[in-house]
């Protein structure tokens, strides 16, 4: 069975690439996934298909399921006949929403989900809480083997604790607070704590820089993102934070928070303790590694997405009945993982 993971725009968090790569490594799933995006940015995630109209039409027609990201523009344009192309036939769709657009106004997207049918996925639990009966949480894929190799190859000065932070949006990621706290700790420790601020760099270079970090501070308001998942794959502890309802849902699903919890106000105390104690870093890093192996590893993602693709293809819910045009999603993706 064939899946086309495609979107007009860049690849949010590398999910389109990651899902295709996960299935390429697994020969037993019965699904072949190809990835294609219309544009790239400085992050430069790799893809196995170059965007052009001929390839797009061929892959679309051959696909049993089409995966989209963030909005329905790809389906709307192609089904209507885009830039002189013939009208693309409707396919069983899997839609994955990430971040701000869905967070701020999910209703228009959910209305289109009803119209198009298919399975609605979200990449973070704060988005899942907005529509738990219509969407399901789909853990982003992480190539843990690659992360571990990158970390193992690093040789660094163990007398210095490096705190990493890799924001794509400084305001959203609480970067000012991170910079202020680490600078304060650096002064207090005579330079034994240092900040590695990773910005506007390619994915490959960002990973290499991240592998040199002893602690990673991710976002402090929205929970963890792809930066945290990659750090956990390296065994690196992560400091992050989220709204109380989101953290409560994490504990319900996972039994514990995978990260060391902090807010902008508590970040100094949290980092002061974590940078001062290698044993605490080891414990937090191991907790994150267990979590990412259980939910975000390639085998876990293949198991979950295989079930999603099958439900999209069948166009039915668990009981076998179409529910108002939407393929009803599982309330807890961990059941499939």
Q: Are 239 and 260 in contact (CB under 8 A)?
A: yes
CATH code of the region 144-295: 3.40.50.2000
Distances (CA, A) of 310 to 25, 123, 304, 322: 19, 19, 10, 14
DSSP β-ladder status, 238-240 and 215-217: parallel
* pLDDT tens per residue across span 271-315: 999 999 999 999 999 999 999 999 999 999 999 999 999 999 998
Give residue 332's pLDDT.
Answer: 54
Give residue 321's pLDDT.
Answer: 36
Give residue 320's pLDDT.
Answer: 36
Q: Give me the long-range contacts of 241-246 (CB less than 8 A, separation at least 24).
A: 242/126, 243/126, 245/129, 246/125, 246/126, 246/129, 246/222
Fold: same for 2-141+298-335 and 144-295: yes
CB under 8 Å to 242, separation ≥6 — which residues?
126, 221, 222, 223, 224, 250
Domain locations in the chain as residue ranges: 2-141+298-335, 144-295
CATH architecture of 2-141+298-335: 3-Layer(aba) Sandwich (3.40)
Q: How far apart are CA 248 and CA 246, in angstroms?
A: 5
Q: How many CA atoms lie less than 13 Å away from 300 in the CB half-sphere?
A: 19
Q: How far apart are CA 188 and CA 85, in angstroms?
A: 63
Give residue 114's pLDDT.
Answer: 94
Q: Are 295 and 337 in contact (CB under 8 A)?
A: yes
Give residue 99's pLDDT.
Answer: 86
Q: What whole-number percentage of the chain has pLDDT above 70? A: 93
Q: What is the pTM for the complete model shown?
A: 0.90
Does 139 score more than 50 pLDDT?
yes
Count of helix runs (H) and strand runs (E) in the chain = 14, 11
* pLDDT tens per residue across span 65-109: 999 999 999 999 999 987 788 899 999 999 999 988 999 999 999
Q: What is the mean pLDDT of the chain?
A: 91
């Amino acid at each position: 069975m064939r899946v086309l993971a495609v979107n007009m725009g860049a690849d949010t968090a590398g999910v389109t690439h990651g899902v295709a790569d996960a299935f390429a490594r697994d020969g037993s799933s019965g699904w072949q996934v190809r990835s294609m995006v219309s544009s790239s940015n400085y992050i430069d995630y790799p893809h196995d298909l170059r965007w052009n109209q001929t390839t797009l039409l061929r892959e679309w027609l051959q696909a049993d399921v089409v995966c989209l990201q963030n909005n329905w523009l790809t389906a709307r344009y192609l089904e209507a006949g885009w830039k002189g192309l013939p009208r693309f036939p409707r396919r069983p769709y899997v839609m994955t929403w990430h971040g701000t657009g869905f967070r701020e106004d999910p209703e228009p997207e959910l209305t289109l989900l009803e119209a198009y049918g298919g399975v609605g996925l979200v990449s973070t639990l704060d988005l899942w809480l907005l529509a738990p009966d219509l969407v399901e949480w789909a853990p982003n894929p992480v190539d843990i083997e690659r992360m571990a190799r990158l970390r193992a190859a690093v040789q660094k000065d163990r007398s210095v604790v490096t705190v990493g932070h890799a924001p794509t949006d400084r305001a959203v990621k609480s970067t000012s607070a991170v910079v202020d706290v680490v600078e304060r700790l650096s002064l207090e420790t005579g330079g034994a704590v240092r900040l590695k601020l990773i910005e506007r760099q390619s994915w490959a270079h960002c990973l290499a820089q991240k592998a040199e970090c002893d602690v990673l501070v991710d976002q402090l308001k929205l929970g963890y993102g792809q930066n945290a998942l990659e750090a956990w794959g390296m065994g690196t502890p992560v400091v992050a934070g989220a709204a109380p309802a989101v953290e409560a849902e994490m504990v319900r699903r996972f039994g514990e928070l995978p990260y060391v919890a902090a807010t902008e106000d508590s970040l100094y105390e949290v980092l002061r303790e974590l940078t001062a104690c290698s044993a605490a870093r080891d414990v937090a890093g191991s907790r994150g590694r267990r979590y990412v192996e259980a939910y975000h590893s390639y085998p876990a993602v293949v198991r979950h997405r295989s079930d999603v693709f099958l439900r999209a293809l069948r166009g039915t819910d668990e009981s076998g009945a179409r529910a108002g045009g939407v393929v009803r999603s599982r309330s807890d993706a961990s059941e499939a993982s």
